[in-house]
């Protein structure tokens, strides 16, 4: 039984607490947060203790920590946790600074501790079924990937200002998805973006609508579309054209009811946000982490994956600014 | 080149005129109707002559006639046309009276002339693709057939009164469809019906909503649902469960546009009525008739098929009246 | 916090144990089963005690029991549990004997204890959304209901022999669904059935394929189709035609991946069986039970509902035997 | 009745001949082709005369010509036909040379004759329904357009060599579609492309897979994806995200049959190529041309539209070569 310390007690930490508790091979031992009331609440619900982070990292009975704190603390906590010998599952992104994330990567490599980055979408039943079909050769050789990823509504501008921008905060999931599906990093990143949803987002120096084209050394192409607003719900689709066919992962719907009237034929909307859509993915992600930690086998998502996605976000940010394609190599330095 | 006489100049006759003219192996030579203005109009449009029926039947250069007159004239015209040596394609139903249709069947058999009944739905690209899949063994052995057949709106009560009733006028298409898909006539017919759409239809002695269950000697079952009113359009679906799977033919839609808003995800309605839905079927039906006449091969739908469907309508009518199952044998006498 | 005793420790009992534990307002206190090992296993997993049934019923701290034992014990246990003052949620069917179920109904009525029957499908998110739309008048006045309910594969013939037959064992869910959607019991039941899936099922005196037509006093009609075998998965669909439109609840699919190749466009199959399809329904059912017990409000499914569905099963069984429609009144005696 | 001369007698000319003949307001008077046998064949089929081009242009009874010859003759023929006072419908593209097309545009402007370019997809029932919904404000303000346009199989390399390349030959339809939907030309064109489908296409200096991003002065974005090979058929989809929703035009399918087996749930493929998919569009295009010519109202697609799409093709070609975004203004000169 893997004893787990949860760092952070916000909304996403609550989701992880449920997954940790429900898994037959893990138990939630302790929770920490700068908001001690929040930590105590989660601890009470799942029979864990509210402690401070140092105490959790210093407790040798705790084998793993799940880092669900604010992004600016991720690199530090990953380093401290691995220094303390813990296995780590850290929410994305590794850091807003690519340079800092690369330092973290080197530090961790020295520790030998397993660190997994929480790209939960790889564990979504739809995307993972699609990946399995690709790897099984069901559409031949992949050629052209398209990712559609729209949020239902933009976050507050106050959040936008500290988020690192759309590419580091939102599209980073899609960069990782492209890496997951294509099995490689792109050579060049070309991005366009605008703040057409809300001019205040533009005022804060960010974009809210963006299209990024990725080209690969072998000629393959990927395109990612992001919008901060799709009023009908959380739009999360992916399609891959290959030499022998097309694979598409479509949206999950709220229910299967269809109504036909004089107004048309109407079905349910996509599930509204990431908690509804990706709840099964969080459980599968945690199960994969526990399995890898228990067996000593490689983690399904690594710190390297986190750095790669961050580098793509950096390249896209630069491409929008300069109006020119940016090579990934130039960003990775 | 097959020279064709068209008997009747109403709406459905116009549809047939187009098909006859567009076919490279046939030409519309003459049109007759008690409404001579209507006959002249169609004749002018397609370069044919308006003549009376006797003249058309007496013209030895005309090889085939298409009968699209009112139902009460079908048997007489079939007999006269075959007596004159014409190949015949006659609109359904053969007759409102089963006994009269059976007499017609015997008379025609003596003539040796080919007579096809216009069950156009057999030639619908969807239903014919489904039939091909069944015959190809794609779902193993058929077990349970369901036919959904709803009109968009009920006809005037005045029409209902002379129509022969829902089973002879509307469900007769579905009876033929069941015979087409199952490749056999049922042993027993069990029907329930009510006039829930419009009490005036009930007042006229008819039903507007009905469910008929057909059971076959080998244990297979079919169920047909009819309603005179589906406000969203012409609902024409069919599904067949077999030992190795399910086949469904779904509705044709007006277009493929889908709109997602806060109100849901809305697509187009089914095509509104039989002219939109079955237009390709009328052309395919005519092509099959010409091919059979030219080659001397068996017709794809025969007068026997028309009589069989009519017998099922008779049995269903009786079953609703008596509240008991009716054997097809008892009706066929 | 409602303390719950679970009677039975089989597969479905395990599903209920999860729902009871996960609910914030209930806790699993004790489990009993004639197989004490099975009871101990569930008890250990959820921190409950394995006890015998008498001890559970005699424990005044236990406020509710969930009966998930074999069908032939349901009536006795309902009576004993209500005599002991427990609130009861009992798996369907109430009993294989309608007469026995009616006695149970009277006995329970005298006790005043709330008894809910586990027609879990009423709590399926799809069917409950459809019901809400009907009640909201979204398709006007209901006219024609169709229920398609196919199992993926037939149970062993040994099970068939003690099951009470397809109508009491399988279609009973659909009878209840018809009552739920239509908000009334039918006047007449007309059934046809055959053993076309497996002749051994016929040899055991049962049918494996059946169509039942229900007619209502006000002219509405419902039709239920059952098959013991749909090789593509658990086929659970419902559609309702109303004066202003059609509502359909379609199947849940394993995932949303669609593959287009030269062979066609292929999506995932329906979820394979009731555990996958109805897992969310079991949780919602339990939540509804707890809410009713806590608030003293009426239960959403009652013992009367269980008796009504059983009476319809009795009528259908009789209708297949006699080849004639059977009135529900004649069966209810 | 508009008398029409058809210049060209190839495959697409045959499609236009049918549309001209079937339209109640136009008649096919004459056909010319350097292959006189082909011209005679079409003429015979539709009761027209085979003549040479000069004779057709010199015949004052002919009010309109349809130009369906090879691309390199389009500009010359448009100029000659308008000089002769004919209304013109010319197949796309106007010319492979943007400069030549611009000269043609000026020449024609001087003549005052109506010239329509055959961007048939604007008349596809799906795309035109979507456009109508956009213009009706059904999804609020348009923000992000995506066009997916894949051919079923690449043309012969010999054709590729004279085609002007993917952007002028294939994506030109999509450039016009973007202009149609967005109601404006883009400011910047950014293209990536590779020859991953067939290296021989790359050897011929062309790409077979490409993604083009268009950005508009007001911040809107469009992205177009092209592939020369989608083995499952002709993939022609479009979606537009707006401030109040999403509109999608999906593929037309060969039929509506769906098969569910242990292998999954399989539907029909998209219609295989442009003749199947766009046949209704050709008829609607012709009807729109006739209506504009008869009424003297503006043409729905103009020579300016043809030049605009060609300029976008030029910009995209340049962008792939230089690896940098290209402004439309710089290309238009």
CA distance D175 to D101: 16
Q: Considering only the beta carbons, identify the residue of C235, C260, C267 that sits closest to D264.
A: C267
Question: Residues in chain B with pLDDT < 70?
Answer: none
Do D132 and D248 reside in the same domain of the chain? Answer: yes
pLDDT tens-place string over residues D203-212: 999 999 999 9
**pLDDT value at residue C146:** 98
pLDDT tens-place string over residues C260-296: 999 999 999 998 777 777 888 999 999 999 999 999 9
Identify the bridge partners of residue C235 per DSSP, sorted by sequence position. C150
**pLDDT value at residue A62:** 97
Domain range for A147: 122-277+308-332
Q: Are A309 and A119 in contact, with CB atoms under 8 Å apart?
A: yes
Q: Is the pLDDT of residue C67 over 90?
A: yes
Q: A132: which 2 tokens?
A: 């399995």
Residues on chain D touching C153 (C-beta within 8 angstroms):
none
Do B49 and B137 reside in the same domain of the chain? Answer: no
C265 and D CB contact within 8 Å: yes
Classified as helix, coil or strand, C76 is: helix
Do C146 and C80 reside in the same domain of the chain? Answer: no
Cβ contacts of A159 within 8 Å, gap of 6 or more: none
For C254, nearest residue in chain D (alpha carbons): D264
CA distance B262 to A157: 23
What is the number of other CB atoms lying within 10 angstroms of the CB of residue D54?
11
| Residue B173, domain member (yes or no) | yes
What DSSP character marks residue C183? S
| Residue A325, domain member (yes or no) | yes
Q: Considering only the beta carbons, identify the residue of C192, C221, C235 that sits closest to B192.
A: C221
Cα D279–chain centre separation: 13
pLDDT band at D280 (very low <50, low <70, confident <90, very high): confident
Do B146 and B83 reside in the same domain of the chain? Answer: no
**pLDDT value at residue C200:** 96
Give the percent of chain C with pLDDT over 90: 88
pLDDT tens-place string over residues B28-43: 999 999 999 999 999 8
Residues on chain B touching A263 (C-beta within 8 angstroms):
266
**pLDDT value at residue D19:** 87
pLDDT tens-place string over residues B277-302: 788 899 999 999 999 999 999 999 99
Do B135 and B248 reside in the same domain of the chain? Answer: yes
Q: Are B38 and B9 in contact, with CB atoms under 8 Å apart?
A: yes
Residue A60's CATH number: 3.40.50.720
CA distance D128 to D304: 20
Residue for token digits 């750095």? A307
B232 and C CB contact within 8 Å: yes
Taking one residue from A and the other from C, the number of pairs with CB-CB distance under 8 angstroms is: 82
Do B86 and B144 reside in the same domain of the chain? Answer: no
CA distance A237 to A247: 11
Residues on chain A touching D230 (C-beta within 8 angstroms):
241, 246
Cα D248–chain centre separation: 20
pLDDT band at D165 (very low <50, low <70, confident <90, very high): very high
Do D322 and D213 reside in the same domain of the chain? Answer: yes
Q: Are B129 and D255 in contact, with CB atoms under 8 Å apart?
A: yes
| End position of a domain, from candidates B75, B93, B113 | B113
Q: Considering only the beta carbons, identify the residue of D126, D255, D261 that sits closest to B257.
A: D126
Do D56 and D190 reside in the same domain of the chain? Answer: no
**pLDDT value at residue B279:** 82
**CB-based contact A227 D323, cutoff 8 Å:** no
**What value of ipTM does the predicted structure carry?**
0.94
User: Could you please report the per-residue DSSP string of C91-155?
Assistant: ESPS-S-HHHHHHHHHHHHHHT--EEEE-GGGGSHHHHHHHHHHHTTTTSSEEEEEEEEE-SSPP
Output the 3-class SS for chain D.
Answer: CEEEEEECCCHHHHHHHHHHHHCCCEEEEEEECCCHHHHHHHHHHHCCEECCHHHHHHCCCCCEEEECCCHHHHHHHHHHHHHCCCEEEEECCCCCCHHHHHHHHHHHHHHCCCEEEECHHHHCHHHHHHHHHHHCCCCCCEEEEEEEEECCCCCCHHHHHHCCCHHHHCHHHHHHHHHHHHCCCCCEEEEEEECCCCHHHHHCCCCCEEEEEEECCCCCEEEEEEECCCCCCCEEEEEEEECCEEEEECCCECCCEEEEECCEEEECCECCCHHHHHHHHHHHHHHHHHHHHHHCCCCCCCHHHHHHHHHHHHHHHHHHHHCCCEEHHHHHC
Q: Are C271 and C58 in contact, with CB atoms under 8 Å apart?
A: no
- CA of D322 vs chain C CAs: smallest distance (Å): 35
Residue B224's CATH number: 3.30.360.10
| End position of a domain, from candidates B56, B87, B113 | B113
What DSSP character marks residue B60? T
Average pLDDT over residues D192-218: 97
Average pLDDT over residues D295-314: 96
**pLDDT value at residue B275:** 73
Classified as helix, coil or strand, A326 is: strand
Q: What angle do CA D127, D130, D131 make, to 5 degrees?
A: 85
| Residue D63, domain member (yes or no) | yes
CA distance A57 to A67: 12
Q: Are B31 and B4 in contact, with CB atoms under 8 Å apart?
A: no
Q: Are A144 and D227 in contact, with CB atoms under 8 Å apart?
A: yes
Cβ contacts of D12 within 8 Å, gap of 6 or more: D68, D91
Burial category of B156 from C-beta neighbours within 10 Å (exposed 0-12, middle 13-18, buried 19 and up): exposed
Classified as helix, coil or strand, C55 is: helix
**pLDDT value at residue D45:** 76
| Residue C300, domain member (yes or no) | no
A263 and B CB contact within 8 Å: yes
**CB-based contact B259 D245, cutoff 8 Å:** yes
**pLDDT value at residue A18:** 84
Do C62 and C133 reside in the same domain of the chain? Answer: no
Q: Considering only the beta carbons, identify the residue of C138, C245, C256 that sits closest to A250.
A: C256
Residues 102-161 of D with CB under 8 A from B: 125-126, 129-130, 133, 138-139
For A251, nearest residue in chain B (alpha carbons): B265
Residue for token digits 């999403």? D246
CA distance A49 to A17: 12
Number of domains in chain B: 2
Q: Are A230 and A248 in contact, with CB atoms under 8 Å apart?
A: no
pLDDT tens-place string over residues C11-56: 999 999 988 887 878 989 999 999 999 999 998 877 789 999 999 9
Q: A331: which 2 tokens?
A: 């960003």
Q: Are C116 and C90 in contact, with CB atoms under 8 Å apart?
A: yes
| Residue B96, domain member (yes or no) | yes
What is the number of other CB atoms lying within 10 angstroms of the CB of residue C245?
21
**pLDDT value at residue B278:** 81
| End position of a domain, from candidates C50, C80, C113 | C113
Q: Is the pLDDT of residue D273 over 80?
A: no
Q: Is the pLDDT of residue D272 over 80?
A: no
B269 and C CB contact within 8 Å: no
CA distance D21 to A119: 60
CA distance B2 to B5: 10
Chain length of chain B: 333
Identify the bridge partners of residue C237 per DSSP, sorted by sequence position. C148
Output the 3-class SS for A254-311.
Answer: CCCEEEEECCEEEECCECCCHHHHHHHHHHHHHHHHHHHHHHCCCCCCCHHHHHHHHH
CA distance D174 to C21: 57
Residues on chain B touching C244 (C-beta within 8 angstroms):
231
Do C247 and C129 reside in the same domain of the chain? Answer: yes
Q: Is the pLDDT of residue C333 over 90?
A: no
- Core vs surface per residue A133-158: b (16+ CB within 10 A) or e: bbeeebbeebbbbbbbbbbbebeeee
Nearest residue to A96 via CA among A304, A309, A327: A309
What DSSP character marks residue C231? T
| Residue C93, domain member (yes or no) | yes
CA distance C86 to C104: 15
Q: What does the mean pLDDT of chain D come to?
A: 95
pLDDT tens-place string over residues D23-46: 878 989 999 999 999 999 998 877
**CB-based contact A231 B264, cutoff 8 Å:** no
Do C42 and C189 reside in the same domain of the chain? Answer: no
Pairing of strands C188-194, C326-327: antiparallel
Average pLDDT over residues A292-308: 95
A192 and D CB contact within 8 Å: yes
A238: left (phi over 0), alpha (psi -120 to 50) or beta: beta
Nearest residue to D201 via CA among D167, D170, D165, D230: D165
Taking one residue from B and the other from C, the number of pairs with CB-CB distance under 8 angstroms is: 100
**pLDDT value at residue C149:** 98
| Residue A88, domain member (yes or no) | yes
Q: Is the pLDDT of residue C69 over 80?
A: yes
Q: A258: which 2 tokens?
A: 């269809």
A120 half-sphere exposure, CB direction, 13 A CA radius? 20
Q: Are D4 and D20 in contact, with CB atoms under 8 Å apart?
A: yes
**pLDDT value at residue C148:** 98
Lowest mean pLDDT, pick from A316-320, B17-21, C155-159, D290-294: B17-21
Residues on chain D touching C262 (C-beta within 8 angstroms):
231-232, 269
Q: Are D286 and D16 in contact, with CB atoms under 8 Å apart?
A: yes
pTM for this predicted structure: 0.94
| Residue B287, domain member (yes or no) | no
For D228, nearest residue in chain A (alpha carbons): A243
Classified as helix, coil or strand, A59 is: coil
Residues on chain A touching C252 (C-beta within 8 angstroms):
256
For B233, nearest residue in chain A (alpha carbons): A262
D244 and A CB contact within 8 Å: yes
Lowest mean pLDDT, pick from A312-321, B154-163, B268-277, C104-113: B268-277
| Secondary structure E strands in chain B | 2-7, 26-32, 49-50, 64-67, 87-91, 115-118, 142-150, 188-194, 209-215, 221-227, 235-242, 245-249, 257-261, 264-267, 326-327
The secondary element (H helix, E strand) that includes residue C227 is strand C221-227
Do C127 and C241 reside in the same domain of the chain? Answer: yes
Q: What does the mean pLDDT of chain C come to?
A: 95
**CB-based contact A253 B231, cutoff 8 Å:** no
């Amino acid at each position: 039984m893997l004893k787990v310390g949860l760092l952070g007690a916000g909304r996403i930490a609550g989701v992880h607490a449920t997954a940790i508790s429900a898994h037959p091979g893990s138990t939630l031992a302790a929770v920490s947060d700068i908001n001690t009331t929040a930590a105590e609440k989660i601890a009470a619900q799942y029979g864990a203790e509210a402690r401070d982070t140092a105490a959790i990292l210093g407790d040798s009975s705790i084998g793993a920590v799940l880092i669900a704190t604010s992004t600016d603390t991720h690199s530090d906590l990953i380093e401290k946790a691995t220094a303390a010998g813990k296995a780590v599952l850290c929410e994305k992104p590794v850091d807003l600074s690519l340079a800092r994330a690369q330092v973290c990567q080197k530090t961790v490599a020295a520790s030998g501790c397993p660190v997994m980055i929480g790209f939960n979408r790889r564990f979504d039943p739809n995307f993972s079924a699609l990946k399995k079909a690709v790897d099984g050769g069901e559409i031949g050789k992949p050629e052209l990937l398209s990712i559609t990823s729209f949020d239902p509504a933009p976050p507050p501008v106050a959040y936008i200002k500290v988020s690192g921008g759309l590419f580091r905060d939102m599209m980073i999931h899609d960069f990782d998805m492209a890496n997951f599906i294509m099995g490689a990093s792109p050579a060049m990143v070309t991005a366009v973006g605008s703040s057409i949803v809300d001019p205040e987002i533009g005022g804060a120096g960010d974009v809210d609508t963006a299209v990024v084209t990725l080209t690969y050394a072998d000629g393959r192409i990927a395109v990612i579309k992001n919008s901060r607003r799709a009023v009908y719900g959380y739009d999360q689709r992916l399609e891959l054209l290959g030499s022998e066919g097309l694979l598409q992962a479509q949206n999950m719907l709220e229910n299967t009811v269809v109504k036909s009237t004089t107004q048309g034929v109407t079905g349910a909307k996509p599930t509204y946000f990431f908690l509804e859509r990706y709840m099964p993915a969080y459980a599968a992600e945690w199960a994969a982490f526990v399995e890898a930690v228990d067996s000593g086998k490689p983690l399904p998502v690594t710190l390297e994956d986190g750095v790669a996605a961050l580098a793509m976000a950096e390249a896209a940010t630069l491409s929008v600014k300069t109006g020119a394609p940016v090579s990934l190599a130039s960003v990775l330095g």
